[in-house]
A and B are shown apart, each in its own frame.
Chain A
Amino acid sequence: DVKVTQSSRYLVKRTGEKVFLECVQDMDHENMFWYRQDPGLGLRLIYFSYDVKMKEKGDIPEGYSVSREKKERFSLILESASTNQTSMYLCASSLGLGQAHNQPQHFGDGTRLSIL
């Protein structure tokens, strides 16, 4: 079974802090993704990575950056946290498209982040 592990289930930070959210997957997946999920807005893609050190912007990258130094780990960074970044953050991983067309994204349990 695929296991995607997010470092924290709940996190409370202050405005202006630099915040790191960590995600690790154990299935040697090429692709990793960071989403945020807000009521009425659904899941929105922040950034994704298709290989080590590679990253692409999703639909809402502003205020965020990412790091992928190792294949199994994908970090989301809030450079200077703001209250509008209070949300549920979900990490996901999947096989590369060329390998398995029908393989889904597998999600971690999420980190509920509150910025005060």
Chain B
Amino acid sequence: GQNIDQPTEMTATEGAIVQINCTYQTSGFNGLFWYQQHAGEAPTFLSYNVLDGLEEKGRFSSFLSRSKGYSYLLLKELQMKDSASYLCAPRKGAGSYQLTFGKGTKLSVIP
């Protein structure tokens, strides 16, 4: 099975940097996705990691350490519109189409 752990809630200030951590346990790693979900809306894709290291995409970066079962999402220059839930979702295993979603981290950006 899969165990995914991420903080339930975080608060950060506009313009700051925030790091959202995710730890996971999978039987055979095959990639990890991060999604953003605004309240009442569908999740939208943010980033993907399959190899160790940092993937940068504008203000958003995601890091992966496969040996530690650990990933984080880094958001820089926070804006009010970044207030949303952030979902960590590793693939279920080698050759699997399925994702298992964490319960999400609700980020509140305050002025």
B58 within 8 A of A: no
Once A42-B102, A43-B87, A43-B101 are accepted as A-B contacts, the answer to whether A101 and B45 lie under 8 Å apart by CB is no
State the CA gap A14–B31 with chains docked (Å). 41
Rounded to whole angstroms, the CA-CA distance of A106 and B103 in the bound complex is 18
- Give the number of chain B interface residues (Cβ < 8 Å): 21
- Residues of B at the A interface (CB closer than 8 Å) are 31, 33, 35, 41-45, 48, 50, 87, 95-104
**Cβ contact within 8 Å between A108 and B50:** no
Partner of B50, one of A31, A42, A96, A101: A101
B48 to chain A, nearest CB (A): 5
Partner of B48, one of A90, A102, A106, A109: A102
Provide the bound-state CA to CA distance between A102 and B55, in Å.
Answer: 13
Task: Compute how far the CA of A84 lies from the CA of B48 in the bound complex, rounded to whole angstroms.
Answer: 34
Contact of A107 with B48 in the complex, beta carbons under 8 Å: no
Tell me whether A115 is interfacial, beta carbon within 8 Å. no
Q: Chain A: residues with CB nearer than 8 A to chain B?
A: 31, 33, 35, 40-45, 48, 50, 58, 90, 94, 96-97, 101-102, 104-110
A52 and B15 alpha carbons, distance in the complex (Å): 47
Say whether B104 contacts A42, CB under 8 Å.
yes
* Cβ-Cβ contact count across A and B, 8 Å cutoff: 49
- Report A60 CB to chain B, min CB distance, Å: 12
Residues of B within 8 A of A107 (CB): 42-44
24 example contacts (A-B, Cβ-Cβ < 8 A) are as follows: A33-B98, A35-B101, A40-B103, A41-B103, A42-B87, A42-B101, A42-B102, A42-B104, A43-B87, A45-B100, A48-B97, A48-B98, A50-B97, A94-B97, A97-B95, A101-B31, A102-B31, A102-B48, A104-B35, A104-B48, A105-B45, A107-B43, A108-B42, A109-B41
With A43-B87, A90-B42, A108-B42 known to touch, is A58 a contact of B98 (CB < 8 Å)? yes
Q: Check B33–A109 contact: CB distance below 8 A.
A: no
**Contact indicator A97/B42 (Cβ below 8 Å):** no
CA distance A96 to B97 in the complex (A): 8
User: Given the interface contacts A31-B97, A48-B97, A94-B97, does A106 sit within 8 Å of B50 by beta carbon?
Assistant: no
